[in-house]
């Protein structure tokens, strides 16, 4: 039980990578707080965690709002008395476009709020508790587009690059308090993230197959469980001499053997 007696908060923990991490952590002994913008979804995942024999709490939280984030931390402390692990997983792109022809100031502000400001607010909410106990593990989720973009999505990629910078600064500042901060950069992971871009079905399956053939050395799409394993490593004592690191969980990306890009894969 790598996380026995640990308490973890996972933002955006109701589907895809977040849910996979929540269940993985619970199976390894952690009590888990799951947040979402939709309370019913968060509570449903909490019930799944409780069926695994662990404590759980499902909370509604918009991570771009400091009051809701601070309440998230306060409710966790009230129920579990401590916070050992924070996974900043919530985020995404819910606007169209994003290159220099159609990116807007409003979209920029919104996407940075959700993907960078939210990560900052969550860290600021939990770090005081971690400092008091002189222990903590923070895992931030970035994006391959932050370091190796295949399409232009200015606001999202800038935000996710900022997450890497935030991770490095926190790791440097908090190391004397025995608080670790690392970043995971997922590659192409098959999650509901893709649903807004292309509906599930044969056409998307063909697109994924071509994408992986051209761009992923391992030749397949990743799964949420592929992210949960490295996250478990970073959350557990196995990584007690690892901080300030960016880990690519991307099937070999960005070490592309070919010059093909996302745009070259047939849609």
- At residue 156, the pLDDT reads 95
Per residue in 15-39, pLDDT (tens digit) is: 999 999 999 999 999 999 999 999 9
- Given pLDDT bands bounded at 50, 70 and 90, which one contains residue 255? low
Q: DSSP state, 262? A: G
- Given pLDDT bands bounded at 50, 70 and 90, which one contains residue 205? confident
Lowest mean pLDDT: which of 22-31, 87-96, 160-169?
Answer: 87-96
Token pair listed for 91? 């985020």
Once rounded to an integer, what is the mean pLDDT over residues 138-158? Answer: 93
- At residue 213, the pLDDT reads 85
- The answer to whether 181 and 171 are in contact (CB under 8 A) is yes
Indicate the average pLDDT of the chain: 92
Percent of the chain with pLDDT over 90: 78
- At residue 137, the pLDDT reads 98
Judged against a pLDDT cut of 60, whether residue 232 lies above it is answered with: yes
- At residue 250, the pLDDT reads 92
- At residue 196, the pLDDT reads 63
What sign does the dihedral 95-250-224-129 (CA atoms) show? negative
- At residue 207, the pLDDT reads 82
Query: What are residue 184's phi and psi, to 5 degrees?
Result: -105, 130
- At residue 265, the pLDDT reads 46
In order of 76, 101, 137, the CA distances from 151 in angstroms are: 38, 13, 32
- At residue 257, the pLDDT reads 43
Once rounded to an integer, what is the mean pLDDT over residues 145-170? Answer: 94
What counts of helices (H) and strands (E) characterise the chain? 8, 7
- Give kind and range of the element (H or E) at residue 122: helix 118-133
Domains, the chain, with CATH or none: 7-192+222-253 (3.40.50.720)
Q: DSSP state, 233? A: H
- Given pLDDT bands bounded at 50, 70 and 90, which one contains residue 266? very low
- Helix 16-27, helix 224-235: angle, nearest 10: 50
What sign does the dihedral 122-123-128-132 (CA atoms) show? positive
Q: How many Å apart are CA 61 and CA 88, to the nearest integer?
A: 12
- Given pLDDT bands bounded at 50, 70 and 90, which one contains residue 95? confident
Going by C-beta distance under 8 Å and a sequence separation of 6 or more, which residues neighbour residue 125? 66, 69, 70, 72, 73
In order of 55, 90, 103, the CA distances from 33 in angstroms are: 8, 13, 35
- At residue 208, the pLDDT reads 84
- At residue 261, the pLDDT reads 54
pTM of the entire predicted model: 0.92
Q: How far from chain centre, in Å, is Cα 14? A: 12
Q: Which residue has the higher pLDDT, 266 or 145?
A: 145
Active site residues: 156
Residue with tokens 């996972």: 10
Among candidates 174, 210, 235, 206, which has minimal Cα distance to 1? 235
Judged against a pLDDT cut of 80, whether residue 13 lies above it is answered with: yes
Report the DSSP beta bridge partners of residue 36. 60
Angle at 229 between CA 27 and CA 90, to 5 degrees: 90
Per residue in 36-54, pLDDT (tens digit) is: 999 999 999 999 999 999 9
Per residue in 109-139, pLDDT (tens digit) is: 999 999 999 999 999 999 999 999 999 999 9
- At residue 26, the pLDDT reads 98
């Amino acid at each position: 039980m790598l996380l026995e007696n640990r308490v973890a908060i996972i933002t955006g923990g109701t589907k895809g990578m977040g849910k996979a991490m929540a269940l993985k952590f619970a199976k390894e002994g952690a009590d888990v707080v799951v947040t979402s913008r939709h309370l019913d979804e968060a509570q449903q995942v909490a019930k799944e965690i409780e069926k695994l024999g662990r404590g759980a709490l499902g909370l509604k939280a918009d991570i771009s709002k400091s009051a809701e984030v601070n309440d998230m931390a306060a409710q966790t402390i009230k129920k579990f008395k401590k916070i050992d692990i924070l996974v900043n997983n919530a985020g995404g792109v819910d606007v169209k476009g994003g290159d220099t022809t159609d990116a807007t100031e409003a979209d920029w502000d919104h996407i940075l709020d959700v993907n960078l400001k939210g990560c900052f607010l969550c860290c600021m909410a939990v770090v005081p508790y971690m400092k008091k106990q002189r222990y903590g593990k923070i895992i931030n989720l970035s994006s391959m587009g932050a370091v190796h973009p295949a399409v232009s999505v200015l606001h999202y990629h800038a935000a996710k690059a900022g997450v890497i910078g935030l991770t490095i600064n926190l790791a440097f500042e908090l190391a004397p308090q025995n608080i670790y901060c690392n970043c995971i950069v997922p590659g192409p992971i098959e999650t509901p993230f893709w649903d807004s871009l292309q509906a599930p079905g044969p056409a998307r399956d063909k697109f994924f197959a071509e994408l992986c053939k051209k761009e992923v050395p391992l030749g397949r799409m990743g799964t949420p469980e592929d992210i949960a394993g490295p996250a478990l490593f970073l959350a557990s004592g196995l990584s007690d001499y690892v901080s300030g690191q960016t880990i690519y969980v991307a099937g070999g990306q960005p070490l592309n053997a070919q010059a093909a890009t996302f745009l070259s894969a047939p849609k």
